[in-house]
Amino acid sequence: AQSVTQLGSHVSVSEGALVLLRCNYSSSVPPYLFWYVQYPNQGLQLLLKYTTGATLVKGINGFEAEFKKSETSFHLTKPSAHMSDAAEYFCAVSVRAAGNKLTFGGGTRVLVKP
């Protein structure tokens, strides 16, 4: 079985500051890793994904994440926070053998201060 741990249920950053959201996963087989964002009263939107190949993955809205197998981590970063980044962010893992169903972390709510 797979699992995901997101460190910090709430993160507060100043506008223009670095955004760093931490995600650690557990999987006995090579995983696919995802970051999704959820704005209030909305569904989940994919920010980026890692399947195979390059371990630094770039996504939408200036976000990127790095897959580190040795650390079982997939942390999400953005160099400069914008007010529109205020939302909840979910890290998720899936494996092909399990039909690619997603196992989500608990989520991190990001507050951006002006």
Partner 1 sequence: DSGVTQTPKHLITATGQRVTLRCSPRSGDLSVYWYQQSLDQGLQFLIQYYNGEERAKGNILERFSAQQFPDLHSELNLSSLELGDSALYFCASSVGPGEATEAFFGQGTRLTVV
Residues at the site binding partner 1, with contacts judged by CB under 8 A: 32, 34, 36, 42-46, 49, 51-52, 90, 96, 98-107
CB of 101 to partner 1, least distance (A): 5
Nearer CB in complex with partner 1: 28/100:
100
Residue 39 CB, nearest approach to partner 1 (Å): 11
Question: What's the CA gap between 90 and 17, in Å, rounded?
Answer: 20
Task: Give whichever of 13 and 47 is closer to partner 1, judged by the CB atom.
Answer: 47
Q: Which is nearer to partner 1, 56 or 114 (CB)?
A: 56
In terms of CB distance, is 25 or 34 closer to partner 1?
A: 34
User: With helix as H, strand as E and coil as C, how does the chain read?
Assistant: CCEEEEECCEEEEECCCCEEEEEEEECCCCCEEEEEEECCCCCEEEEEEECCCCCEEECHHHCEEEEEHHHCEEEEEECCCCHHHCEEEEEEEECHHHCCCCEECCCEEEEEEC
Rounded to a whole number of angstroms, the minimum distance from the CB of residue 78 to partner 1 is 19
Q: Which residue has the tokens 């899936």?
A: 94
User: What is the smallest separation between the CB atom of 43 and partner 1, expressed in angstroms?
Assistant: 4
